[in-house]
Amino acid sequence: MKREQCLGYCDTTGGWFRPRNFEIEIDTHLDKETYTKTLLHEMFHMKQFIDGTLKTKRSKMYYKNEPVDNYSYDDQPHEIAAREAEETLYKEYHEERLESLR
């Protein structure tokens, strides 16, 4: 993962049609906050695969039926959505943790 400058990765296992089995890999050398945000980010990709907004057809990835390779990595719409969700979900997670400690 370090070679690819990647913090985490989500992939389907057992086929691309209506995927229900997934593998998430995360760099084990991350601080707690980055690890948690990366996990939430990759779980959001899992949701995208499950709801069908993210698909792979003929070895190409599509988001809402548009090829993601039409964009640079940082501008790919499924990555933008996952980055936004990761921040929102982390904030909710952190607030719930603080509330439970009170």
- The answer to whether residues 55 and 62 touch, using CB atoms and an 8 Å cutoff, is yes
Within a domain: 72: yes
Identify the band that residue 21 occupies on the pLDDT scale cut at 50, 70 and 90. very high
Within a domain: 2: no
pLDDT confidence of residue 43: 98
Within a domain: 62: yes
Taking 3-state DSSP, the helix, strand and coil percentages for the chain, each rounded to the nearest 5, stand at 50, 20, 30
Within a domain: 35: yes
**Neighbouring residues of 68: CB distance < 8 A, sequence distance ≥ 6:** 61, 62, 76, 77, 78
Within a domain: 3: no
Q: Is the pTM of this model over 0.75?
A: yes
* Total domains present in the chain: 1
- The answer to whether residues 52 and 17 touch, using CB atoms and an 8 Å cutoff, is no
Within a domain: 40: yes
Report how far apart, in Å, the C-alpha atoms of 26 and of each of 18, 23, 63, 89 are: 24, 10, 22, 17
Does residue 24 have a pLDDT over 80? yes
Within a domain: 1: no
Within a domain: 37: yes
- Residue 24, domain extent: 8-101
